[in-house]
Amino acid sequence: MSSKLEADHLFKVFGGRPEQAVERLRRGADREDLRADGTTAAVIDASFDVRAGEIFVVMGLSGSGKSTLLRMLNGLLAPTAGHVRFDGEDLTALGDRELRALRSKKISMVFQHFALFPHRSVRDNAAYGLEVQGVPRAERERRADEALALCGLAGWEDSWPDELSGGMQQRVGLARALATDADLLLMDESFSALDPLIRRDMQDQLLELQKTLKKTIVFITHDLNEAMRLGDRIAVMRDGRVVQTGTAEDILLRPANDYVASFIQDVDRSRVLTAAAVMDTDVRGDEADCGCETATPDASFTELCAISARLSHPVAVVDAGRDLVGVVARQRLVAFLGDERGAPTPCADGGGKVTARA
């Protein structure tokens, strides 16, 4: 996959003498050091590539700099130092008019509290971005209706926003972003204001849409479970810095530091980890011939637990050609599910028990 969007040593400092502050940050100063001068280092030396067609999640606590970073990615905020490249073009070199054109055509944003216009129909709300672009009415209504249907709102086109639930209103926001055909979607805590069940629903819907639309999405959240569900890759931010970038598995299995490690304690590992991530690959080639139940490399922990519970030996992992590529011992499942006490660990689906060996 090629790089769609690139953050190259981005800094954003609010307050007096920002360039000087950047120099200090480059020499290793942190946020706290600058605060004494009344300067806020919102984003410090952030670098990453977002690949075409991926969901790239930026995860961090409140105040870690996520929204500031996102606003630099679409040119709403000029970086104090560093560059943003979109399709290879340096946004920092563009003028206001070019940036506005880029934001109206190629980059769409979906916010946490999506403000719908109360006196416009759902259709006209979804068509708003196209109206700004000057798309003729008939075409923009057709495209708005298509986007609404994609977001599960067919039949609601002529309703008013206040006739919709919060989750449905958020879908109108998503439809507005999709209707413009932008290839880059920036989503800032877009699902955070929703009830947990509706939020999960929206996550599923986004993943389902993404299978066919294959947009490039930067999704911001403070919730690591949401990050792990949605993200092809995740950047973890702390106090303005990106402290780790990787897949959900990278972050779970190889946290870059104690901070990330403390974050992942509450993650439901059985959903994220797969056989490939934890299998022991140092195995002899004939073990797959035992005629017993096997797992594929992308088998989830839930599946592995169930298989393991039915076997008295490690689970063999075989590829599409039925070649043995690894084994997963029961002890390893227990270790990764994070039960340090070594007590029996129920599988996520309740389908079997994994018992630690003494």
Secondary structure (3-state) at 187: strand
- Which one of 39, 67, 108, 245 is in contact with Mg ion (CB under 5 A)? 67
- DSSP secondary structure string, 86-110? ETTEEGGGS-HHHHHHHHHHTEEEE
For residues 18 and 161, which CB has a smaller minimum distance to ligand ATP in the complex? Answer: 18
Query: Which x/- pattern over 287-316 shows residues binding ligand ATP (rule: CB under 6 A)?
Result: ------------------------------
Q: Which residue is nearest to Mg ion (CB)?
A: 67
CB of 232 to ligand ATP, least distance (A): 21
CB of 240 to ligand ATP, least distance (A): 7
Instruction: Give residues 7-66 in contact with ligand ATP (rule: CB under 6 A).
Output: 14, 40, 42, 60, 62-66
Burial class (CB in 10 A: 0-12, 13-18, 19+), 173: buried
Partner interacting with residue 242 (select from Mg ion, ligand ATP, none; CB below 5-8 Å by kind): none
Residue 161 in contact with residue 182, Cβ under 8 Å?
no
User: Is residue 40 at the binding interface for Mg ion, with CB under 5 A as the rule?
Assistant: no
φ and ψ at 54, to 5 degrees? -105, 160
Dist CA 347 CA 334 (whole Å): 10
For residues 177 and 315, which CB has a smaller minimum distance to Mg ion in the complex? Answer: 177
For residues 82 and 314, which CB has a smaller minimum distance to ligand ATP in the complex? Answer: 82
Stretch (H or E) spanning 272: helix 269-272
User: Is residue 221 at the binding interface for Mg ion, with CB under 5 A as the rule?
Assistant: no
User: Is residue 265 at the binding interface for ligand ATP, with CB under 6 A as the rule?
Assistant: no
| Residue whose pair of structure tokens reads 């560093």 in the numeric block | 82
Residue 44 in contact with residue 25, Cβ under 8 Å?
yes
Tokens at 253, concatenated: 């299995």
Residues engaged in binding ligand ATP (CB under 6 A): 14, 40, 42, 60, 62-68, 222
